[in-house]
């Protein structure tokens, strides 16, 4: 009797939650079921887009914008694992972008480490940093977690700005080219393919993670930490694990950004960049892999499109962000999916 | 000793600014659980509004009053057109909405006003007060007094009036509040209006020290946000104490450690405090409802 | 089904991007990426206004060699990544023949590879010497370097027989870069830097740092490197603490806004700046006088705002390009580049430019005047 009580309570709770949570939650759950059934098939349209898009591109400019979409898609995907699946907010993820970026900048110039190795070391360093700061930070909840992660991101930005001997200070530093098998990676088209493939690999890993026992444990944490704990899930350990994975995704995106631009400034880990990443996740749709890419696409392409509005650019950008969140509350992809047939075919 | 005192004065000057900005977050949070990321833009609107009405020939006192009223209307509009339509959206969605609002308001300010920096005259002149070899500007004391005044008013308002009871009821349980006949829309809307007004007043009082520009509100709001987390979100006393503590921390860090890392010291202390007291210094311990 | 929608959304986005590519018109296009918003907007805004005014003027006079100019300006918000994207857009989409812009050092440095690869002349408006040293074939700049500002201040200090100084700088790009340059050239100028402090670009009280400077023995003068609101607050706090030594500011505050913000505290402050700020006080014999008076009049009449030297840098860059294109007799990128490099004796708002294959700036120390603020006005120090 007493042994059954927690389980029963959990089921009751789940049912109550489902009933009360309204549209957004049930969309998320539908989405999960869909993902479980379809798994990787859901990536087919994205693969198709990756192949078809270049046919429409008339210049390197398009390749660059599209490459940036996939790049920020990787970062948003990482943050989405943390926010959408584990329900933990982070306002400091750009800090990890900075670690990845400065790793490929400082590694080769100061220590003579080959760029490819620096790239990997950057991801490992981000994982280590996330592991060390994650445990205490993730004990906090909601807004307190938000301010703690915010502080973490700002701390890193301050370090990148002040340690000018290493980072070039606020003016930034040049990043050596990535050379693979004697072939220097340059040109927007090359980066388009690298980033598109990287995003797809990242998406496959994310989908597998979501559908693993760990993924189910994470969703339980998202719905109710207490219930998850009652079910015997090591909440702290799972949260830490997803935080580390999420940091690695973002760090890799940061390394790519540094290599793509060939130049970085501390803005890469600034507060505004962190906010932008969160906005990509929420706009595209929390808990949606495709949503991460759509969110990134919106925020990368909008500033290019809005140059039409000249000085009214920010007015329009603000209105669009507010409008999307008001009318497509669960994010663009889940909301549209629900509007056109509830995500089931 | 004179040096120490000067650091204290600097800390109080900066701390009072953070406190005054931080206190604006309190009411909206209590009534609606929203941390309003557009609060900094209220501060900016109050200040820039006063500056530009003043340029247009309106006497400064009147300009200030009008700017506060305009900002109040903006606060109401934000609630009516952005928060109400999003009704029961979750916290992160609401945060992104207020971030959208802050981008929008900055964009409007950029077009309506300009992109330069502006200042306002200090209320009690700019002759520094000398004390024990250190100096402080009278305006710093004005800001400090403003922060305490608003804190006391807010406390009395929330603790002693029917409206305040309604706010607390809504904070405790929105559905129950509605069931006992509280018009949540009016109460929450009024909280947005009041918070906007507090922000605008803060903007006018601090501008003689901080200067103002169309995007000057964002970073102030960031510090204000950090201050309320240090003090404990939702508590007016916590906001003021958190703000002043943060200011003192930064001043001592700049004086005794390194000016480059003073912001870092501020955040490190906040992190340390949160690890020991996960709800800030004055945050109420709540039992998680399952 | 859902995935089809996603695909549709993508297609829409792709289409929107495709629509951005406007067909090229017959005009000659010159591009500019400026920080019109964000922390460096006080640079980007007057630069944008200046470019617009003078491209219109050039076109009103029939253009260059009968061809009208079309100006394309993008706002990077001070962000290096955005700057690079817009630079790519100018080169790949808009097919500009030259770029006049890049408001800050960080954004300019991110844009340089784009123009070097595409072999398009790029005249930057960024401050740091890193932009043109080492020399890059297609890259030029018009603003004085921060190293020159340091040298000018040190020369003035020597004249006043002051050799021990304290530095206080903003941690923004401009302040940090000039601080490093001052520390680097100080020994050569016979100046000892006895104390260094800094502050964040958005700080609202600098008394702790200034208190430490006040308590440092042997300081004879204080130099503040920084731009934006910081220097105004430093100046006010400096007077609040009653620090008795002379205070020097940098060319980063060379706009009327600084005097307005700092109020009476600004009186007595010295700074190196272009002749533009004291246009009316220049002797008639000064070769720069007609240029700076004309620019000042035009800018103030069109915008209703007081001139700053920042807009002047954009004027110099545009005019150097226009003169080079005229000499080249075409808009051939390589020919225009060669002619820009051969700029000799060009009198601009910043000074007289004499470029060469090894010097892509071409200004010397004489371009800077030492100014002192008296009763809220700029005055020349003789």
Find residues 153-212 of chain A whose CB sits inside 8 Å of chain C. 161-162, 164, 169-172, 174, 188
- What the block records as the tokens of C113 is 């590879």
Model pLDDT, residue B26 = 87
Distances (CA, A) of A272 to A24, A86, A244, A269, A321: 27, 23, 22, 8, 15
Q: Using the beta-carbon criterion (under 8 Å), do B110 and A314 form an inter-chain contact? A: yes
Determine the structural domain holding residue B261 and report its residue range: 2-267
Distances (CA, A) of C371 to A54, C191, C271, C381: 57, 20, 5, 5
**pLDDT tens per residue, range A56-99:** 888 889 999 999 999 999 999 999 999 988 888 899 999 999 99
Model pLDDT, residue A33 = 56
Model pLDDT, residue C25 = 44
Check if A75 contacts C (Cβ < 8 Å): no
Q: Got the DSSP string for C42-105?
A: HHHHHHHHHHHHHHHHHHHTT-BTTB-EEEEEEE-TT-HHHHHHHHHHIIIII--SEEEE--SH
Q: Which of C79, C77, C59, C78 is nearest to C68 (CA)?
A: C59
* Residue C193 to residue C182: CA distance in whole angstroms: 9
Which H or E run contains C138?
A: none
Is B237 inside any structural domain?
yes
* Other C-beta atoms lying within 10 Å of the C-beta of residue C135: 13
Write down the pTM of the prediction: 0.87
Find residues 195-214 of chain C whose CB sits inside 8 Å of chain B. 197-200, 202, 204-205, 207-209, 211-212
How many H-runs (helices) and E-runs (strands) does chain B carry?
A: 11, 2
Is B157 inside any structural domain?
yes
Model pLDDT, residue A308 = 80
Model pLDDT, residue A307 = 84
Model pLDDT, residue C127 = 85
Which H or E run contains C33?
A: strand C28-34
Contact A147, B270 (CB under 8 A): yes
Question: Of residues A170 and A142, which shows the higher confidence score?
Answer: A170
Whether C27-144+296-364 and C146-273 share one fold: the answer is: yes
Question: For residue C172, what is the nearest residue in chain B, using CA coordinates?
Answer: B260
**pLDDT tens per residue, range A312-334:** 888 998 999 899 889 888 889 88
CA atoms within 13 Å, Cβ hemisphere of A70 = 28
Model pLDDT, residue B284 = 67
Q: Using the beta-carbon criterion (under 8 Å), do B260 and C198 form an inter-chain contact? A: yes
* A154: alpha, beta or left? (left if phi > 0; alpha if psi -120 to 50): alpha
Tell me B212's DSSP state.
B
- What the block records as the tokens of C127 is 């401050």
**What is the predicted ipTM?**
0.89
Task: Judge whether residue C132 has pLDDT over 70.
Answer: yes
Domain ranges of chain A: 42-270
For chain C, what percent of residues have pLDDT higher than 90?
A: 70
| Cis amide bond preceding C134, omega within 30 | yes
Q: Using the beta-carbon criterion (under 8 Å), do C229 and B213 form an inter-chain contact? A: yes
Per CATH, the homologous superfamily of domain C146-273 is Response regulator (3.40.50.2300)
Instruction: Give how far C272 is from chain A: nearest CA, Å.
Output: 22
* Residue C168 to residue C250: CA distance in whole angstroms: 11
Model pLDDT, residue C364 = 85
Contact B128, C205 (CB under 8 A): no
**Mean predicted lDDT score pLDDT of chain C:** 89
Contact B191, B32 (CB under 8 A): yes
- What the block records as the tokens of B289 is 């409802």
Domain ranges of chain C: 27-144+296-364, 146-273
* Residue B147 to residue B125: CA distance in whole angstroms: 19
Dihedrals phi, psi of A194, to nearest 5 degrees: -60, -45
Q: Mean pLDDT per segment of 10 residues, for chain B of length 290 residues?
A: 92 95 90 89 97 95 97 96 85 87 93 90 89 91 95 89 88 84 89 95 95 89 90 89 95 91 88 86 62
Instruction: Give how far B196 is from chain A: nearest CA, Å.
Output: 19
* Residue A268 to residue A75: CA distance in whole angstroms: 12
* Residue C43 to residue C227: CA distance in whole angstroms: 10
Which residues of chain A does B285 touch, with a Cβ-Cβ cutoff of 8 Å? none
Task: Judge whether residue C195 has pLDDT over 90.
Answer: yes
CATH of the domain at B20: 1.10.3470
Q: Using the beta-carbon criterion (under 8 Å), do B92 and A89 form an inter-chain contact? A: yes
What residues does C34 pair with on adjacent strands? C75
Check if C41 contacts B (Cβ < 8 Å): yes
CA atoms within 13 Å, Cβ hemisphere of B172 = 12
Local structure of C307: helix, strand or coil: coil
* Residue A247 to residue A107: CA distance in whole angstroms: 19
Model pLDDT, residue C123 = 97
* Residue A205 to residue A242: CA distance in whole angstroms: 13
Pairing of strands C377-380, C369-374: antiparallel
Model pLDDT, residue A21 = 46
Three-state SS letters, A218-266? HHHHHHCHHHHHHCCCCHHHHHHHHHHHHHHHHHHHHHHHHHHHCEECH
Instruction: Give how far B288 is from chain A: nearest CA, Å.
Output: 9
Is B274 inside any structural domain?
no
Question: Of residues C57 and A221, which shows the higher confidence score?
Answer: C57
Find residues 87-106 of chain A whose CB sits inside 8 Å of chain B. 89
The confidence band for A210, taking pLDDT boundaries of 50, 70 and 90, is: confident
Is B275 inside any structural domain?
no
Is B173 inside any structural domain?
yes
Question: For residue A267, what is the nearest residue in chain C, using CA coordinates?
Answer: C79
Fold topology of C27-144+296-364 = Rossmann fold (3.40.50)
Task: Judge whether residue A169 has pLDDT over 80.
Answer: yes
**pLDDT tens per residue, range C228-240:** 889 999 999 999 9
**Mean predicted lDDT score pLDDT of chain A:** 85
Which residues of chain C does B219 touch, with a Cβ-Cβ cutoff of 8 Å? 202
Q: B107, B113, B223, B272: best mutation site toward chain A, by most A Cβ within 10 Å? A: B107
Contact A22, A333 (CB under 8 A): no
Question: For residue B100, what is the nearest residue in chain A, using CA coordinates?
Answer: A318
Helices (H), chain C: 2-20, 41-60, 80-89, 105-118, 146-159, 173-189, 207-215, 230-240, 256-262, 289-303, 309-328, 333-341
Measure CB to CB from residue B6 to each of C39, C45, C211 and give the nearest one. C211
Lowest-pLDDT choice from A18-22, A131-135, A210-214, C327-331: A18-22
**pLDDT tens per residue, range C75-130:** 998 889 999 999 999 999 999 999 998 888 889 999 999 999 999 999 999 988 88
Triad B93, A311, C118: Cα angle to 5°: 100
Task: Judge whether residue C280 has pLDDT over 70.
Answer: yes
């Amino acid at each position: 009797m007493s042994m059954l009580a927690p389980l029963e309570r959990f089921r009751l709770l789940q049912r109550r939650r489902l009933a009360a949570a309204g549209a957004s939650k049930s969309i998320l759950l539908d989405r999960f079921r869909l993902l479980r059934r379809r798994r990787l098939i859901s990536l087919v349209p994205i693969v198709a887009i990756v192949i078809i898009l270049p046919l429409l591109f008339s210049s390197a400019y398009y390749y660059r914008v599209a490459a940036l979409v996939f790049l920020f898609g990787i970062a948003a995907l990482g943050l989405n694992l943390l926010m959408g699946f584990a329900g933990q907010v982070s306002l400091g993820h750009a800090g990890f972008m900075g670690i990845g970026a400065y790793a490929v900048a400082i590694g080769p110039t100061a220590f003579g480490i080959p760029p490819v190795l620096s790239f990997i070391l950057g991801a490992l360093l981000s994982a280590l940093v996330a592991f060390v700061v994650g445990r205490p930070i993730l004990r906090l909840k909601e807004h307190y977690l938000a301010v703690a992660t915010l502080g973490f991101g700002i701390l890193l930005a301050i370090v990148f700005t002040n340690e000018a001997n290493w980072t070039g200070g606020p003016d930034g530093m040049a990043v050596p080219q990535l050379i693979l098998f004697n072939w220097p990676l340059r040109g927007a088209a090359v980066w388009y393919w690298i980033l598109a493939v990287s995003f797809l690999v990242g998406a496959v890993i994310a989908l597998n993670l979501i559908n693993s026992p760990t993924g189910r444990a994470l969703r339980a944490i998202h719905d109710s930490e207490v219930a998850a704990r009652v079910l015997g899930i090591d909440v702290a350990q799972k949260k830490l694990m997803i935080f580390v994975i999420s940091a690695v995704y973002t760090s890799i995106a940061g390394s790519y950004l540094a290599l793509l631009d060939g130049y970085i400034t501390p803005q890469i880990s600034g507060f505004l960049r962190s906010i932008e990443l969160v906005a990509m996740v929420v706009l595209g749709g929390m808990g949606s892999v495709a949503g991460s890419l759509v969110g990134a696409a919106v925020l990368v392409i909008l500033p290019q499109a809005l140059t039409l509005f000249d000085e009214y650019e920010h007015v329009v950008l603000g209105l669009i962000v507010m409008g999307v969140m008001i009318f497509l509350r669960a994010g663009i992809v889940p909301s549209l999916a629900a509007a056109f047939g509830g995500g089931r075919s | 000793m004179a040096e120490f005192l000067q650091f204290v004065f600097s800390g109080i000057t900066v701390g009072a600014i953070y406190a005054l900005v931080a206190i604006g977050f309190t009411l909206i949070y209590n009534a609606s659980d929203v941390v309003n990321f557009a609060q900094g833009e209220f501060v900016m609107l109050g200040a820039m509004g006063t500056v530009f009405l003043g340029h247009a020939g309106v006497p400064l006192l009147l300009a200030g009053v009008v700017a506060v009223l305009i900002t109040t209307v903006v606060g109401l509009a934000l609630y009516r057109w952005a928060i109400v339509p999003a009704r029961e959206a979750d916290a992160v969605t609401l945060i992104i909405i207020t971030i959208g609002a802050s981008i929008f308001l900055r964009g409007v300010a950029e077009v309506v006003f300009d992109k330069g920096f502006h200042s306002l005259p200090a209320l009690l002149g700019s002759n520094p007060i000398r004390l024990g070899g250190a100096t402080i500007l009278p305006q710093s004391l004005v800001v400090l007094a403003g922060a305490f005044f608003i804190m006391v008013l807010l406390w009395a308002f929330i603790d002693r009036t029917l409206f305040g009871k309604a706010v607390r009821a809504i904070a405790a349980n929105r559905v129950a509040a509605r069931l006992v006949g509280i018009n949540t829309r009016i109460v929450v809307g009024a909280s947005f209006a009041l918070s906007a007004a507090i922000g605008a007043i803060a903007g006018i009082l601090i501008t003689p020290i901080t200067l103002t520009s169309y995007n000057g509100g964002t970073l102030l709001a960031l510090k204000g946000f950090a201050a309320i987390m240090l003090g404990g979100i939702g508590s007016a006393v916590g906001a003021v104490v958190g703000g002043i503590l943060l200011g003192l921390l930064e001043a001592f860090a700049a004086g005794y450690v390194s000016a480059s890392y003073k912001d870092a010291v501020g955040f490190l202390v906040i992190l340390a405090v949160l690890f020991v007291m996960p709800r800030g210094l004055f945050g109420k311990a709540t039992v998680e409802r399952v | 089904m859902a995935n089809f929608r996603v695909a549709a959304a993508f297609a829409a986005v792709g289409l929107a991007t495709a629509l951005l590519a406007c067909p090229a018109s017959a005009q000659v296009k010159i591009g500019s990426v400026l920080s019109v918003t964000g922390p460096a907007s006080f640079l980007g805004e007057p630069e944008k206004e200046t470019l617009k005014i003078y491209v219109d003027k050039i076109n009103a006079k029939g253009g260059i060699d009968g061809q009208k100019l079309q100006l394309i300006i993008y706002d990077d918000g001070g962000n290096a990544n955005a700057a690079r994207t817009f630079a790519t857009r100018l080169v790949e989409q808009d097919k500009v023949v030259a770029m006049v812009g890049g408001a800050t050092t960080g954004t300019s440095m991110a844009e340089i590879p784009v123009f070097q690869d595409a072999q398009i002349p790029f005249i930057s408006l960024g401050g740091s010497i890193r932009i043109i040293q080492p020399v890059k074939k297609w890259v030029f700049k018009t603003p004085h370097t921060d190293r020159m500002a340091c040298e000018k201040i040190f020369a003035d200090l020597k004249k006043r027989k002051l050799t021990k100084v304290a530095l206080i700088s903003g941690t923004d790009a401009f302040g940090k870069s000039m601080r490093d340059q001052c520390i680097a050239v100080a020994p050569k100028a016979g100046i000892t830097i006895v104390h260094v402090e800094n502050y964040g670009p958005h700080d609202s009280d600098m008394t702790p740092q200034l208190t430490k400077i006040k308590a440092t023995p042997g300081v004879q003068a204080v130099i503040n490197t920084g731009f934006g609101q910081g220097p105004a607050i430093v100046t006010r706090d400096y007077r609040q603490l009653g620090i008795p030594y002379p205070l020097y500011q940098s060319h980063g505050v060379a706009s009327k806004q600084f005097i307005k913000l700092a109020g009476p505290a600004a009186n007595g402050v010295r700074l190196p700046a272009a002749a533009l700020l004291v246009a009316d006080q220049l002797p008639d014999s000064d070769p720069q006088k007609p240029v700076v008076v004309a620019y000042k009049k035009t800018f103030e009449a069109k915008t209703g705002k007081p001139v700053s030297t920042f807009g002047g840098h954009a004027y110099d860059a545009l005019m150097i390009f226009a003169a080079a294109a005229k000499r080249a007799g075409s808009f051939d990128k390589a020919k225009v580049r060669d002619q820009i490099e051969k700029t000799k004796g060009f009198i601009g708002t910043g000074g007289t430019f004499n470029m060469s294959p090894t010097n892509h700036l071409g200004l010397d120390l004489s371009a800077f005047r030492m100014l002192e603020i008296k009763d809220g006005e700029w005055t020349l120090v003789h």
